[in-house]
Chains A and B, each alone.
Chain A
Amino acid sequence: MGDLVSGPFAAIHAASVPALPPRRSELGRSLLAAFAMALVLGWAGRVIELRPLELVRDIGNIGVFLKGYLHPSFANIGEYAWQCLVTICIALWGTVLAAAISIPLGLLGARNLSPHPAVYFVTRRIMDVLRAVNEFVFALMFVTAVGLGPFAGMLALGIHTGGVLAKLLSETIESIEPGQVEGVAATGAGRLHVIAFGVVPQVMPNFLSYVMLRFESDIRSASVIGMVGGGGIGFYLWDTIRSFKDREAATVILLIVAMVMLTDIVSSRVRRAAI
């Protein structure tokens, strides 16, 4: 039985070794790449003043610094907890705004859907700007318009994340199966119908997943955006650290860690249930 199965293959395996085309050695290229990488890393290390020995020598200073944080104060915990809730609300509305912004941008910025190459180009550049400018910068800008507070922070988060989601959405759209779109367009359906039936069902699961992931990251951003007047717990984080209220700062940091962990857990549960 074994012979019956292996027989024909054994004949192939026992045949003389054919002459394959010569293989080019890649050792030189690998060495060159490693050398170039080392050069870049070395230079970048000098730029950032990389001094690992100092870290080892003075590590005790961190201990002194942290000592103040060992006894968190619970005097103002009610206010901090409320500000954590405000932070979550900033992230929630910021993500909704971002999703709303990303849909038109994502559709116009997808190569296979954009009505004209010029529209595609301009939309892509708008996305680049939204992504390149940090939410802190946007927050400073909106503070001048709507004043200090969570509204400015939410707008800043929404605009920046809108650019990120638009890029993810447009790339999802570019990778859809064209056949399914063609099947809708072939009925003579209009552009809106082709998008609603041919495109939306294909991109929806990925898009929802991206939105939820960005919500988790928006929580982290919202927890520090208060440093520049964008509302939420970030203001207290900044204020307590800057005025050396170590015990208060410790409370704030603990609450932020708890909030991020909690929202991540809830969000990933919802994400799995929804998709």
Chain B
Amino acid sequence: MTRASVIDPISPVVTLDRASKVFSGRRALDAVSLTIVPGEFVAVIGRSGAGKTTLLRCLTGSIPVTDGAIRFGDGELAGLRGRALREHRARVGMIYQQFNLVKRLRVIDNVLIGRLPHLSGWARWASVARVFPDAERDIAARCLEHVGLSERAWQRTDTLSGGEQQRVAIAKILAQEPRIILGDEPVASLDLANGAMVMETLRRVASSAGVTVITTLHHVDYARRYADRVVGFRQGRLVFNGKAVELTDRAVVDILGESRPSDAAIAPVLAAEPRWATS
């Protein structure tokens, strides 16, 4: 797999140092040690309850680890609250299975939500009434153009298809200028064609900006195709950590604990030359 030209990565090194999370006696994360270098595209796979979501929630700072540490660069995530937590969240771009856009707002306003943490002074107050400086609106327009949805700018967001909404969510992340992107099953509720398009868009923007992406994925084939690295979780433990090309069928069985119905249906969709690599 060829990588798009990577400009200087802006992401911090993400380090998990024997990180554990215990929920009422159950170890959702069990002494996970992992280092993610800037600009990497990491797919997280595992069955339901394997610890994928717990990992993401620890990375966003919404829950603290019980033992060990998670670091972004030199900064530790333990005990982030209030303003510090909000600043951390501004550095993390989230993309969700259910898109989590504000449905009744226009598409462009959802993109502008990504600009909120960047506003200061009067612009910050004016934005409460959805009044944004022209410069901010220009940024949002460019981000929307980047995911190919300019003509949808004034539509109500819930009139868009699922795939389009997820691309709006990506435009919102572009506007937010995060240092790292976290994905929580971003393509699980999309059909194959739309899922592939969203993954390609995500891959393209991440590669060109040099931003780290850590995303959970249901489909092993998506992970193989779009990720640089795959980490596999089983019962809270890290059981696979390697390049995407090293993810053999044997390794998949080890992670998921059983052979799954063939992913053959997805193969033709993903067989085409990836667009992110050429653009």
* Chain B contacts with A in 104-124, Cβ cutoff 8 A: 104-105, 109, 113-114, 116-117
A60 touches B (CB below 8 Å): no
B53 to chain A, nearest CB (A): 13
B62 to chain A, nearest CB (A): 9
Chain A residues with Cβ under 8 A from B116's Cβ? 184, 187-190, 193, 197
User: How many residues does chain A have at the interface if contact means C-beta atoms less than 8 Å apart?
Assistant: 21
The answer to whether B90 touches A187 (Cβ under 8 A) is yes
| Total A-B Cβ pairs within 8 A | 76
B127 touches A (CB below 8 Å): yes
Contact residue among B88, B91, B94, B102 (Cβ-Cβ distance under 8 Å from A197): B102
Contact residue among A180, A185, A189, A205 (Cβ-Cβ distance under 8 Å from B101): A180
A200 to chain B, nearest CB (A): 9
Classify the secondary structure of B's interface with A: helix
* Chain B contacts with A in 171-228, Cβ cutoff 8 A: 172, 176
Q: Scoring A residues 191 to 204 as 1 if CB is less than 8 Å from chain B, else 0, what string do you get? A: 01100111001101
- What CA separation (Å) do A190 and B60 show in the bound complex? 16
Chain A residues with Cβ under 8 A from B86's Cβ? 188-190
Chain B residues with Cβ under 8 A from A190's Cβ? 86, 116
* Chain A contacts with B in 181-227, Cβ cutoff 8 A: 182-190, 192-193, 196-198, 201-202, 204-205
Contact residue among A177, A184, A186, A192 (Cβ-Cβ distance under 8 Å from B128): A192
Chain A residues with Cβ under 8 A from B60's Cβ? 186
The answer to whether A193 touches B128 (Cβ under 8 A) is yes
Chain B residues with Cβ under 8 A from A201's Cβ? 102-105
- What CA separation (Å) do A197 and B98 show in the bound complex? 17
A179 touches B (CB below 8 Å): yes
B69 touches A (CB below 8 Å): no
The answer to whether A193 touches B91 (Cβ under 8 A) is no
Classify the secondary structure of A's interface with B: helix
B72 touches A (CB below 8 Å): no
The answer to whether A197 touches B117 (Cβ under 8 A) is no
B92 touches A (CB below 8 Å): yes
Known contacts A186-B60, A188-B87, A189-B86: does B102 contact A202 (CB below 8 Å)? yes
B100 touches A (CB below 8 Å): yes
The answer to whether B102 touches A193 (Cβ under 8 A) is no
Chain B residues with Cβ under 8 A from A198's Cβ? 102
Residues of chain A whose beta carbon lies under 8 Å from any beta carbon of chain B: 177, 179-180, 182-190, 192-193, 196-198, 201-202, 204-205
7 A-B residue contacts at CB 8 Å? A182-B96, A187-B94, A188-B89, A188-B91, A196-B128, A196-B129, A202-B102
Residues of chain B whose beta carbon lies under 8 Å from any beta carbon of chain A: 60, 86-94, 96, 98-105, 109, 113-114, 116-117, 127-130, 169, 172, 176
Closest 9 CB pairs of A and B: A188-B90, A183-B100, A188-B89, A189-B116, A186-B94, A188-B117, A201-B104, A179-B100, A188-B86
